[in-house]
Structure 1
Amino acid sequence: MSVKSLGYVVIETRDLAAWREFGTTILGVMDAGSDDPDVLLLRVDDRPFRFWIRKGEREAFVAPAWELASQDSFDATVAKLEATGRPVEHADIMEARARQVYALARSSDPCGNAFEIFHGRFCDYVPFVSPAAVSRFVTGDNGDMGLGHIVLTAPAFEETHAFYKSVLGFRDSDLGRFYLGGGGPDDPGVGFAFMHARNGRHHSLALGQMPENPNGAVHMMLEVGTLEDVGRAYDRVLGSKGKVVLSATLGRHVNDKMTSFYVRTPGGFDIEYGWNGLVIDPDTWVPTTSLGISDWGHQWAHEKGD
């Protein structure tokens, strides 16, 4: 029993209008409409939503929601969580229906990173139309590759890495060690674990051996259909004249081959906006160990002194 894909993300904000503007005009995602004035729903494909953004008292990434394939898989995962001593909160039927899923529960990893798990999904068959003319967002056939990926911090790195493999069924794609301090005898490097779910995306989850992030996540990734989609979004960020912050310039990653840039969200965490990510066979993939982050580009704002 293992996670099928990243189903959606939960975000909290004091300013729904800022997220609506950022999502529709910069990212090119679609406002799905909501019956609740305190919830903004954004979609990227034929799912009713992929972003659940609620009004609250903070700006933060709250939780990824991991999709499981069946009721049996959901029940087995809940049992594993309870057996490891992790807290499990079961949502009632009305909350599950609001999320447009069959069953929903919440828990957290050993570092306290919250997550939701669910199974079943509703379809409303409303066509996705990008307000910024994005050709498409890559989520796989019938959405089986999921929304994208999420990167979380894990100060208790080994324990948390083992938890995601043994309890949620993730498998390793790449075990990186990045020398962010420039290398040398005094630079121990930072460990990263890039892990895939039961689909072809190179990684749906990555853990960084770093202190807790105050924004709840390091970044999440959205993949689009063409290089032109990336370039036009890059131009939209630059055309905002500083209103939207470019976190990292255009570049290409070593391990998942994604050509992308990074942009700061209203929530303070980043979104990687990319194209042409590596597709793997999750059953036969042999994990790699990467010692570099990018083939080229991806110059970070803090490295430029911005």
Structure 2
Amino acid sequence: MAVSSLGYIVVEATDLDRWRSFAVEFLGMMEAPSADPDVALFRIDDRPYRFWVQKGQQDRFVAPGWELPNKAAFDAAVVALKDAGRPVEHVDVLEARARQTYEIVRSSDPDGHAFELFHGRFVDYAPFSSTAGTSGFVTGDNGDLGMGHVVLTAPTFTTVHEFYKSVLGFSDTDLGRFYLQGGGRDDPGIGFAFMHATNGRHHSLALGEMPESPNGAVHIMLEVKELADVGRAYDRALKSKGAIPISATLGQHVNDKMISFYVQTPGGFDLEYGWNGLVIDPQTWVPTTSMAVSAWGHKWAWEAED
């Protein structure tokens, strides 16, 4: 049993129209039909949706939806969760169908981060089209790379890191330690675990040894097909004059080679918008250790304030 990819994310929003503008006009996603007026759905490929944004009382990241390849793997994951003492809530069949999956369970990791597990690949045969002119998003053949990645805080880092490996089947790609205060004697650094599922994306999940994020996640990542897509989106953020806050300037990460920038979403968590991420062989990859976040660029907003 092992998670195959990041299938979707669930977001809570006080203003669905603000998310529509952000997702469609800025990111270049495609809005999908929704049977529920309190839910907005957004596509990046042939899946019916990758973002499920539901009306609520807060603006926050709710949960990632981790995909299992089949029912046998799904059932094994449920058993593993129960054996690990984690809560398991089976979603009723009507809600699962509304989510366009066969089955869903909800659970949480040892630090309390909610997640969903599902199986059943539904597709939307209407061609993807971006009104913003985005050429497309990288999700792999038949969506096997998943929608991107999610980064979570992990106050009990060792415990949570082990949970995702031993219970959900993630494997280590890169075990970094980043010295964001200059690396002096008084800088202990921050541990990070970048973890891959059973696909070739460098990491579908990353954990940071940090206090809990008030918005439910540190960031999520979407990968576009052309570098020009990144440049045009960066221009849109600049032209917004702060309406779309830039969290980090253009740069390239050391470990996954992604050229990207970061913005703050309407949910308060960040989104990395990138191109040309490293693809690995998950069967043979030997974990690396990175001591820097980026090879160049990625000047963070909090650095600009110093």
Bin for the TM-score computed over the shorter chain: over 0.9
**Structure 1 counterpart of 2:176, one-letter code:** G
Distance 1:113 1:75 in 2: 21
Matches within 5 A, 1:144-223: 144-223=144-223
Q: Give the SS at the match of 2:66.
A: strand
Deviation (angstroms), 1:186 = 1.2
Structure 1 counterpart of 2:247: 247
Q: Give the SS at the match of 1:247.
A: strand
Distance 2:24 2:237 in 1: 12
Deviation (angstroms), 1:184 = 1.2
Distance 1:101 1:238 in 2: 38
Structure 1 counterpart of 2:8: 8
Q: Give the SS at the match of 2:142.
A: helix
Q: Give the SS at the match of 1:206.
A: strand
Q: Give the SS at the match of 2:53.
A: strand
Deviation (angstroms), 1:159 = 0.3
Structure 2 counterpart of 1:302: 302
Distance 2:299 2:241 in 1: 19
**Structure 2 counterpart of 1:193, one-letter code:** A
Q: Give the SS at the match of 1:76.
A: helix
Deviation (angstroms), 1:131 = 1.3
Distance 2:243 2:41 in 1: 23
Deviation (angstroms), 1:126 = 1.2
2:152 paired with 1:143: no
Structure 2 counterpart of 1:270: 270
Structure 2 counterpart of 1:234: 234
CA RMSD in angstroms, aligned pairs only:
0.7
Kindly provide the CA deviation profile for residues 187-210 of structure 1, in whole angstroms up to 9, marking residues without a partner as x: 110000000001000000000000
Structure 1 counterpart of 2:106: 106
Give the ranges of 4+ consecutive aligned residues of structure 1 lying more than 6 Å apart after TM superposition. none
Distance 2:129 2:148 in 1: 19
Structure 1 counterpart of 2:36: 36
Matches within 5 A, 1:81-100: 81-100=81-100
TM-score, structure 1 as length reference? 0.99
Distance 1:200 1:268 in 2: 29
Note the residue ranges of structure 1 that are not aligned, 5 or more in a row.
none
How many residues align? The count is 306
Deviation (angstroms), 1:174 = 0.2
Deviation (angstroms), 1:182 = 1.1
Distance 2:87 2:218 in 1: 24
Distance 1:124 1:276 in 2: 26
Deviation (angstroms), 1:124 = 2.4
Q: Give the SS at the match of 2:214.
A: coil
**Structure 2 counterpart of 1:120, one-letter code:** G
Distance 2:127 2:73 in 1: 30
Q: Give the SS at the match of 1:296.
A: strand
Structure 2 counterpart of 1:256: 256
Q: Which moved more, 1:251-260 or 1:116-125?
A: 116-125
Distance 1:124 1:202 in 2: 26
Distance 1:251 1:200 in 2: 22
Kindly provide the CA deviation profile for residues 207-244 of structure 1, in whole angstroms up to 9, marking residues without a partner as x: 00000000000000000001000000000111111111
